[in-house]
Structure 1
Amino acid sequence: MSQYQQKYWSLLRELKTHVIYLHGYAASSEWWDKSINISLAITSSTSIAAWAVWQEYQIIWAIIIALSQVITAIKPFLPFRQRLKPISDLNDLMQEISLECEKHWFVVAEGELTEKEIHDLYISLKDKSLKAEKKALKDIVLPKQGKILMRAEKEADHYLTNTYH
Structure 2
Amino acid sequence: MYQHKYWNQLKELKVHVYYVQAYAVKQNKYDQIINIFLAITSSSSIAAWALWKDYQFLWAFIIAASQVITAIKPLLPYRKRLSALNKLGDMLSLISLKAERDWYFVAEGKWSEEEIHSKWADLKEDALSAENKCLNGVTLPKNKSALTLAEKEADIYLQSTYY
**Residue 49 (structure 1) shift:** 2.6
Displacement of 1:84 in angstroms is: 1.7
What residue number does 1:7 align with?
Answer: 5
Shift of 1:48: 4.5
Query: Which structure 1 residue ranges, 4+ long, deviate > 4 Å from structure 2?
Result: none
Residues matched between the structures, number: 163
Give, in whole Å, the separation in 1 of the partners of 2:58 and 2:31. 25
- 2:19 alignment partner AA: Y
Q: Could you give the per-residue CA deviations for residues 39-94 of structure 1, whole angstroms, max 9, x where no partner exists?
A: 11101221353243252211111111111111111111111111122111111111
Counterpart residue number, 1:121: 119
Structure 1: state its 5+ residue gaps: none
Unmatched 5+ residue regions in structure 2? none
The percent identity for this pair of structures is 54
Given the two structures, how large is their TM-score scaled by the length of structure 2? 0.95
Task: Tell me which moved more, 90-99 or 106-115.
Answer: 106-115
**Helix, strand or coil at the partner of 1:9:** helix
Match of 2:136? 138
- Give the SS at the match of 1:141: coil
**Which residue does 1:102 correspond to in 2?**
100
Identify which of 90, 93, 99 aligns with 1:92: 90
Q: TM-score, normalised to structure 1's length?
A: 0.94
- 1:68 aligned partner, one-letter code: S
TM-superposed deviation, 1:35: 1.4
2:40 equivalent in structure 1? 42
- RMSD of the TM alignment (CA)? 1.2
Cα distance in structure 2, aligned partners of 1:44 and 1:85: 26
Residue 95 of structure 2 aligns with an amino acid whose one-letter code is I
